[in-house]
C-alpha cells in the first residue's frame, strides 16, 4: 500500500513579504541611506573642524558632494553590469564592503597629515559613492524577481520605506555622538549586514539566464542601440529628477533658503534632511499600496509627484517665518517624493532579466549623478537671481522632465518579468 504524497503548503503573502530577501534588502538600504546622507548631515560641523569659514563650507561642501555623486554615477554602471553578469548577490556583497571601508576612513579625515584633508575627504566620499551605488538597484531587482507580481509593488515599497529610516538614525547618531564616530558606526553596521547576507539565495530568474551562455548579459550600451530601449531608459531617469531636487537643493541648502525667507532661527540642513526622509519613508511604504489600489504605477507616481510640487511651491513662495514650518514642509515634500521605490521598481520592470540589474542600478544613480548639474546650476544662478529664484529654475526643469517622463512611459503594473531583451 503506497503512502500518499503531501503537497507542500503554499507560502502565505505575509511569509513571502517578510522573507529573508526582503528583510536583508531593507536592512541593506537602511545602511545605504545612513551612509549616503551622512555627509550632508555632518557637512557643516566636519568642515568647520577642518578650519573652513561659512563661505568655504558652502563651496567645498558642494564640491565634496559632487565627488560623492560622481562616484554613484560610475558605481551605478559598474555594479549594474556586474549584477547582470555575475549575479545580484555579487553586488550586494561587493558594494557593502566598498562603502563600509570608505565610511570608516572618513572618520579619520581630521587626523590626516600625509595629504590635504579636503582632498582626502573628497576621495573617500567618491569611493563611498561607488560602493553605495550598488545597494538599492541590486536589492530591488532581487526582491522584484523573487516575489509574485501581485506583491512586487508592496515588497519593494517596504524595502525602501524601511531603508529610508536610515536617514533618521543618521541624524540622531550625529546628535548623540561626534561626526567621526557617526562614520565609524556606519561602517560597523555595514560589516554586520555583510554577515547577515550569507544566508540569502540568488534569484531563480537570474539562475535560469546565467546558464544560457548565448544570452548577452549586462550590456550597458544596449540601452543606446535601440530607440525604444533608449527612450524608456531616459524616461526612467527623468521620473526621478524631482526627488533629488528636493533632497539635494531644498533640504541640503535649507539653511540658505531659511535666510532668504527671513527665518530668524538658523536652519539645520541635517535636521531638514532627517524630516524629509521621515516623510519619504512614509510615502514609500504608501506608494506600493497606492499602486496596488490604482492598478497602475503611472497613476501612483503622478499623484505623488503632484504632492511634491504642491509642497515645493509652498516652501518657496509662501514666505514661512519659522523653522518649525520649514521642517513640516520638508516632511510634506518627503511624502511626495516617496515614489522613489516605485520609480526604481519601474526601472526594473521596463527591461528583461539580462538587463534588469543594469537598469535598476544605473537609473537611480544616474538621477543621483544629476545632482552635480543641479548644484552647478543653483550655485551659478544665485548671484543673479537670488537663492529663491535659483531654486525655482532648477525645480521647474526637474518637474517638467519628471511629469513628461511618467506620463509617456509604458505601464508595468502586473507585468511578467520572466523575459529577455534581444
Assign residue 121 the CATH number of its domain: 1.20.1250.20
| Model confidence pLDDT, tens digit, residues 337-380 | 999 888 888 988 888 877 887 888 888 888 988 888 998 899 89
Write out pLDDT tens, residues 10-22: 455 555 666 667 7
Least confident of 62-71, 95-104, 143-152, 174-183: 143-152
Tell me whether residue 322 is in a domain. yes
Residue 5, pLDDT above cutoff 50: no
Q: Mind spelling out the 3-state secondary structure of 333-396?
A: HHHHHHHHHHHHHHHHHCCCCCCHHHHHHHHHHHHHHCHHHHHHHHHHHHHHHHHHHHHHHHHH
Ranges 172-181, 234-243, 338-347: which has the least confidence? 338-347
What is the pLDDT averaged over residues 259-280? 88
pLDDT digits (tens, 9 = 90+) for 128-140: 999 888 877 777 7
212 occurs within a structural domain: no
Residue with grid cell 557593502, as numbered in its chain? 96
Q: How far apart are CA 44 and CA 53, in angstroms?
A: 10
pLDDT of res. 41: 82
Question: What's the rounded Cα separation, in Å, for the pair 262 and 320?
Answer: 8
Residue 77 pLDDT > 80 = yes
Q: Classify residue 178 as left (phi > 0), alpha (psi -120 to 50) or beta.
A: beta
* pLDDT tens profile 111-126: 988 899 999 999 999 9
Of all residues in the chain, what percent carry a pLDDT higher than 90? 35
pTM of the predicted structure, to 2 decimals:
0.78
Average pLDDT over residues 286-301: 90
Write down the mean pLDDT value for the chain: 84
For residue 209, is it within any domain? no
Percent of the chain with pLDDT over 70: 88
Examine residue 416 and state whether it is found in any structural domain, yes or no.
no
Q: Is residue 417 part of a domain?
A: no
Q: Is 192 a member of any domain?
A: yes
- What's the pLDDT score for residue 10? 47
Domains identified in the chain, total number: 1
Q: Of 166-175, 198-207, 244-253, which one has max mean pLDDT?
A: 244-253
Q: pLDDT tier at 197 (50, 70, 90 boundaries)?
A: low
Domain-embedded: residue 188: yes
Residues 263, 315: Cα–Cα separation, whole Å: 12
Q: Which residue would you say has higher pLDDT here, 154 or 333? A: 333
Is residue 2 in a domain? no
Q: Which domain holds residue 299?
A: 17-203+224-408
Cα torsion 11, 15, 17, 23: sign: negative
In the prediction, which pLDDT does 9 show?
45
pLDDT at residue 303, rounded to an integer: 96
How far lies 328's CA from each of 252, 282, 333, 335, 362, in Å?
15, 14, 9, 11, 32
- The region of weakest confidence among 161-165, 206-210, 226-230 is 206-210
Amino acid at each position: 500500500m503506497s503512502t500518499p504524497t503531501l503537497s507542500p503548503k503554499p507560502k502565505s503573502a505575509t511569509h513571502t513579504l517578510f522573507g529573508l530577501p526582503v528583510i536583508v534588502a531593507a536592512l541593506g538600504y537602511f545602511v545605504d541611506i545612513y551612509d549616503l546622507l551622512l555627509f550632508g548631515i555632518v557637512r557643516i560641523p566636519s568642515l568647520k573642524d577642518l578650519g573652513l569659514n561659512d563661505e568655504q563650507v558652502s563651496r567645498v561642501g558642494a564640491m565634496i558632494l559632487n565627488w560623492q555623486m560622481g562616484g554613484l554615477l560610475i558605481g551605478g554602471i559598474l555594479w549594474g553590469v556586474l549584477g547582470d553578469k555575475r549575479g545580484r548577490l555579487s553586488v550586494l556583497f561587493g558594494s557593502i564592503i566598498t562603502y563600509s571601508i570608505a565610511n570608516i576612513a572618513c572618520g579619520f579625515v581630521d587626523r590626516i597629515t600625509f595629504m590635504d584633508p579636503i582632498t582626502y575627504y573628497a576621495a573617500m566620499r567618491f569611493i563611498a559613492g561607488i560602493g553605495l551605488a550598488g545597494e538599492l538597484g541590486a536589492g530591488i531587482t532581487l526582491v522584484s524577481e523573487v516575489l509574485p507580481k501581485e506583491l512586487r509593488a508592496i515588497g519593494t515599497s517596504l524595502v525602501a520605506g524601511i531603508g529610508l529610516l536610515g536617514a533618521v538614525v543618521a541624524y540622531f547618531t550625529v546628535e548623540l555622538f561626534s561626526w567621526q564616530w557617526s562614520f565609524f558606526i556606519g561602517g560597523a553596521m555595514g560589516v554586520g549586514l555583510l554577515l547577515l547576507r550569507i544566508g540569502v539565495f540568488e534569484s531563480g530568474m537570474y539562475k535560469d539566464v546565467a546558464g544560457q551562455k548565448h544570452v548577452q548579459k549586462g550590456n550597458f550600451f544596449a540601452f543606446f542601440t535601440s530607440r525604444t530601449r533608449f527612450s524608456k531608459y531616459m524616461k526612467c531617469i527623468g521620473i526621478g529628477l524631482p526627488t533629488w531636487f528636493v533632497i539635494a537643493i531644498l533640504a541640503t541648502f535649507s539653511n540658505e533658503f531659511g535666510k532668504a525667507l527671513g527665518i530668524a532661527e538658523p536652519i539645520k540642513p541635517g535636521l531638514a534632511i532627517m524630516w524629509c526622509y521621515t516623510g519619504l519613508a512614509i510615502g514609500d511604504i504608501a506608494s506600493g499600496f497606492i499602486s496596488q489600489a490604482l492598478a497602475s504605477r503611472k497613476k501612483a507616481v503622478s499623484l505623488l509627484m503632484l504632492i511634491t510640487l504642491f509642497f515645493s511651491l509652498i516652501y518657496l513662495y509662501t514666505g514661512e517665518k519659522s523653522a518649525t514650518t520649514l521642517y513640516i514642509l520638508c516632511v510634506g515634500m518627503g511624502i511626495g517624493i516617496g515614489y522613489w521605490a516605485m520609480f526604481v521598481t519601474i526601472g526594473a520592470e521596463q527591461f528583461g532579466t539580462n538587463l534588469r540589474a543594469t537598469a535598476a542600478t544605473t537609473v537611480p544613480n544616474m538621477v543621483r549623478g544629476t545632482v552635480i548639474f543641479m548644484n552647478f546650476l543653483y550655485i551659478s544662478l544665485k548671484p543673479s537671481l537670488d537663492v529663491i529664484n535659483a531654486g525655482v529654475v532648477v525645480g521647474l526643469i526637474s518637474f517638467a522632465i519628471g511629469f513628461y517622463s511618467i506620463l509617456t512611459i509604458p505601464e508595468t503594473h502586473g507585468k511578467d518579468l520572466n523575459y529577455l531583451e534581444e
